[in-house]
């Protein structure tokens, strides 16, 4: 569960992170870097795809500056992975609300 989020930091299950994260059902990957800063392409989500979640929640940052490529959206849809793209604040709430019922992964940009 995500305990709290504020610009540049997130607390997941009591542990604080200050870099972008991917929250898997059984672990948190911190220092998540994308090939192109504020752009998410399919290559940036390889580990997520391997896990085959029902839902991927993407947090686009505090000011929603991160964009998800059309190719990534289409690829995820073709795999049957539901995609939710929101500001990171909203994405944290969505993730917490969905995790008890479905296999959900969150990929979150913590800053801008």
> Which domains, and CATH codes, for the chain?
2-108 (3.40.1230.10)
Q: Report pLDDT for 102.
A: 87
pTM: 0.95
Q: Report pLDDT for 78.
A: 97
Helices (H), the chain: 46-51, 70-78, 88-98
Q: Report pLDDT for 37.
A: 86
Nearest Cα neighbor of 57 from 85, 33, 31 is: 85
pLDDT tens by residue, the chain, 112 residues: 999 999 999 999 999 999 999 999 999 999 999 999 899 999 999 999 999 999 999 999 999 999 999 999 999 999 999 999 999 999 999 999 999 888 999 999 999 8
């Amino acid at each position: 569960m995500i305990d709290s989020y504020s610009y540049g930091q997130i607390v997941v299950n009591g542990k604080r992170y200050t870099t972008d994260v991917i929250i898997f059902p059984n672990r948190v990957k911190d220092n998540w870097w994308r090939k192109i800063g504020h752009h998410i392409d399919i290559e940036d989500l390889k580990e997520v795809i391997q896990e085959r979640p029902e839902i991927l929640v993407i947090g686009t940052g505090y000011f929603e500056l991160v964009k998800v490529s059309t190719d990534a959206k289409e690829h995820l849809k073709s795999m049957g992975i539901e995609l939710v793209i929101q500001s990171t604040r909203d994405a944290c709430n969505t993730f917490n609300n969905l995790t008890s019922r479905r296999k959900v992964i969150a990929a979150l940009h913590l800053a801008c």
